[in-house]
Amino acid sequence: MKITEHLKNAKSTLFSFEILPPLKGQSLKELCEGIAPLMEFNPPFVDVTYHREEYIFKKHPNGLLEKVSTKKRPGTVGICAAIMNRFQVDAVPHVLCGGFTKEETENVLIDLNFIGVDNVLALRGDAPKAERFTAEPDGHSFASELVEQIVKMNNGKYLHEETENSFHTDFCVGVAGYPEKHFEAPSMKFDLKYLKEKIDKGAEYIVTQMFFDNQKYFDYVAKVREAGIDVPIIPGIKPITTLGQITMLPRTFFLDLPDALTDELEKCKTNAEVKEVGIAWSIQQCKELVAAYVPSLHFYTMSKADATYKVAKEVF
Ligand code: FAD
């Protein structure tokens, strides 16, 4: 079922989450067992990320491990099929511009349609290793172009074909939004102009980058509405669970942690203490968002259910 239908049918805020395909050499069983407890909260959909870069570790005879980078982490399509089958949820694969030609995108979308996927999140993706993003030759430069391709397929228009096909896909397309602005955009106004382009081209809902200050989400929703966008805006939630994330999350995702949260986190000496603070903060955040009737709380689990479970147990 389409995300828009799930949201329309919902009587209260939904619970949803994002997982990563396992690294090469790790099993599907481990992933499924890891997320199984979250099914208690009846997620209607689960997102499966896509990664342009994959690290594998090569073991040398002297025992040392070497980090080897390869292109594209496999598994997104397979994991979607597996979780739909095993948990009876809708899977939402992330589809990227980066690393794909238009034809490769078309082929992935055909496979996704054949396995019964009804929704995709269309993203540009980042450049590997903090370089400047460049599209593949004959690939897309911006997520709006990818949205356009998906919507054309929904209308029966494939690449290199003049005529309309009788069979066509019917994907519901979501896109990303940034309550603290996308890091490359010179201003929020600029970013919203291109968010609107994604919606005008046919995207039907927005999932936000994680944020830790609800006011940023509320202000963002107001600005998005002022920009003439009326689709649902699903907030992204991430409970902080390790000491490393205190600096890694702001640096990687270009966001601020509120002073009240960093004051608490600074007192922590161990990951266990950080996790306790992170979970308590998320619970508070989620309760306020539910009271504001947000469409769904969408958790960035990084495929680890524990913290998300503890938050959801208090909120749903
Ligand atoms: P776009 O919407 O294309 O925007 C990128 C930048 O270009 C913005 O600054 C925008 O303002 C600007 N822009 C847009 N159109 C134009 C234009 N026509 N002219 C000039 N400027 C323009 N990354 C992954 O690799 N894999 C994932 O699975 C993944 N999942 C994500 C899920 C969510 C919910 C979010 C919020 C992000 C996710 N990302 C993922 C990260 C995402 O790929 C990056 O944030 C990326 O840098 C931007 O992607 P986008 O789709 O928002 O890009």
Q: What is the pLDDT of residue 162?
A: 67
pLDDT of 303 reads 81
Q: In the structure, which protein residues have their CB atom closer than 6 angstroms to any atom of ligand 1?
A: 49-52, 94, 96, 123-126, 142-144, 176, 182, 184-185, 190-191, 194, 198, 207, 209, 236
Lowest mean pLDDT among 24-28, 183-187, 281-285: 24-28
pLDDT for residue 223? 98
Query: Is residue 255 within 8 Å of residue 249, measured between CB atoms?
Result: yes
Predicted-assembly ipTM surpassing the 0.90 threshold: yes
Task: Write the pLDDT tens digit of every residue in 163-213.
Answer: 667 778 999 999 999 999 999 999 999 999 999 999 999 999 999 999 999
Instruction: Name residue 308's beta-bridge partners.
Output: none
**Please, which pLDDT band fits residue 134 given cuts at 50, 70 and 90?**
confident
Atom of ligand 1 nearest to the CA of 177: 36
Q: How far is the CA of 49 from the centre of ligand 1 (A)?
A: 13
Annotated catalytic residue, options 5, 18, 161, 164: 18
- State in Å: Cα 123 to ligand 1 middle: 5
Residue, of 280 and 158, whose pLDDT is higher: 280
Model confidence pLDDT, tens digit, residues 76-96: 999 999 999 999 999 999 999
For 39, what's the count of Cα atoms within 13 Å in the CB-facing half-sphere? 13
pLDDT of residue 57 exceeding 70? no
Single-letter residue type at 129:
K
Ligand 1 centroid to residue 183 C-alpha, Å: 9
**Atom of ligand 1 minimally distant from the CA of 236:** 34
Q: Is 239 exposed, middle or buried (0-12, 13-18, 19+ CB in 10 A)?
A: buried
Relative to the CA of 143, which ligand 1 atom is closest?
3
Distance between CA atoms of 112 and 1, rounded to whole angstroms? 14
Q: Is 18 a catalytic residue?
A: yes
Q: Which of 13, 52, 19, 11 is nearest to 35 (CA)?
A: 19
Among protein residues, the one whose CA lies closest to atom 32 of ligand 1 = 176
- Phi first, then psi, for residue 174 (nearest 5°) are -110, 160
The answer to pTM > 0.90 is yes
Which is the closest atom of ligand 1 to the Cα of 195? 2
Q: Is the pLDDT of residue 297 over 80?
A: yes
Closest alpha carbon to 17 in 221, 281, 295, 296: 296
Task: State how far the Cα of 301 lies from the Cα of 123, in Å rounded to an integer.
Answer: 19
Separation of alpha carbons 51 and 153, rounded Å: 23
Q: Which pLDDT value is given to residue 67?
A: 65
The protein residue with its alpha carbon nearest to ligand 1, atom 24, reads 125
Contacting residues for 197 by C-beta, under 8 A, at least 6 apart = 144
Closest C-alpha residue for ligand 1 atom 40 = 125
- Lowest mean pLDDT: which of 33-47, 159-173, 187-201, 221-235? 159-173
**Alpha carbons within 13 A on the beta-carbon side of 77:** 14
Residue with CA nearest ligand 1 atom 51: 123
Q: Given pLDDT bands bounded at 50, 70 and 90, which one contains residue 23?
A: confident
Residue located nearest, by CA, to atom 46 of ligand 1: 125
